[in-house]
Amino acid sequence: MREPVIQVRGMTKDYSNGPQVIPILKGIDLDVYPGDMVAIMGPSGMGKSTFLFILGLLLPPSGGSYMVKGQEVAKLTRSQQAQFRRTFAGFVFQSCNLFEHTKVFENLEFPLIYAGVPRKDRAAMIDEALAKVNMMHRRNHPANRLSGGEQQRVSIARALVNRPSIIFADEPTGQLDLKHSRMVMEHFQRFVSEDKTAMVVVTHDPGVAEQCTRTLYLRDGNLYEQ
């Protein structure tokens, strides 16, 4: 029997606005298995990104259970959360979040530095990740001189470089044209199927959702299967 990488039960998230408590997530259940590409869609302001950030341990949930590979992670300390992120997770965000004043390979080196990968092993891992997104020819290029599509491919390579179990992507194609958008999603499909990685992607784009294995809708604080 397949074990889920992510298992969420009754997850809630509330925001306080003065005395008023606004529920964003109202008891969500979700299982994500290795090789799954789960798209989360829904209207703006419904908490899709909030849910993704909770899954990535960038935000704490208000209640419920959240298990990664069978381990409860909802109530970890800040340090343990950081350890979870560098061990299991890779992130891709909407706007190209490459570091200024750095070269492409330096961008990819940071997750490895924080994960404590010895320096001698880093070059091979960086080259492998860059090769997966066809960006080896830009290895020593300043990051801010790349085109939008190239920058997003480097972000993907950075999310993959430490071989995470789960990739979290927040509108990864939001600023790309159709051609580059398809290319990026094809890269994701290949990694997920080859490496048996799980992926959760938040998107507004039905075209992106079509390329995923499952699509979920978040509305009024609940998740609905398509």
Partner 1 sequence: MLQLNDLIRISLRQVVRQHKRYLGVLLAIALGTGLMIVIMTMGDEVKSNLNKDLDLLGGATIIKVFFEDGGADRMDRPESFRDGSVETVNALPGVNATTLVHMAGGYATFDKHDTDFIMFGVDEHYWKVNGLHQKAGELFGKEAMDKRLRVVVLGEELAMRIFGRLDVVGEWISVNRVLYLVVGLLDAGSVSERGKWGYTPLTTMMDFWPNVEPRRMYVRCNTWDDVGPVSEQVITAIRARQKADHLRVEVAWEALKHIKRIVWWVELFIYFSISATLLLGGFGIWNGMMTAVKSRTREIGLKKAMGAEDIDIMKQFIAEAVALSFFAGVLGVGLGYGGVELATWLLKSQAPQDLLYLYSLMSIIFTVLLGLGAGFFPALRASRMEVVSAIRYE
User: Given the rule CB under 8 A, which residues bind partner 1?
Assistant: 53, 56, 58-59, 78-79, 82-83, 85-87, 89, 91, 93, 97, 99-101, 106, 110-111, 113-116, 119, 158
Considering beta carbons, is residue 108 or 135 the nearer one to partner 1? 108
Q: How far apart are the first and last CA of the chain?
A: 24
Q: How far is the CB of 149 from partner 1 (least distance, A)?
A: 19
- H helix count then E strand count, the chain: 7, 10
Minimum separation from the CB atom of position 25 to partner 1 (A): 15
Long-range contacts for 29-32 (Cβ within 8 Å, ≥24 apart)?
29/223, 30/6, 30/216, 30/223, 31/4, 31/6, 31/7, 32/4, 32/5, 32/6, 32/166, 32/198, 32/200
Minimum Å distance from CB 142 to partner 1? 10
Smallest distance from the beta carbon of 64 to partner 1, in angstroms?
19
**Which residue, 110 or 217, has its beta carbon nearer to partner 1?**
110
Which secondary-structure segment (H or E) carries 195? helix 178-195
> Of 101 and 179, which has the nearer Cβ to partner 1?
101
Nearer of residues 53 and 188 to partner 1, judged by Cβ: 53
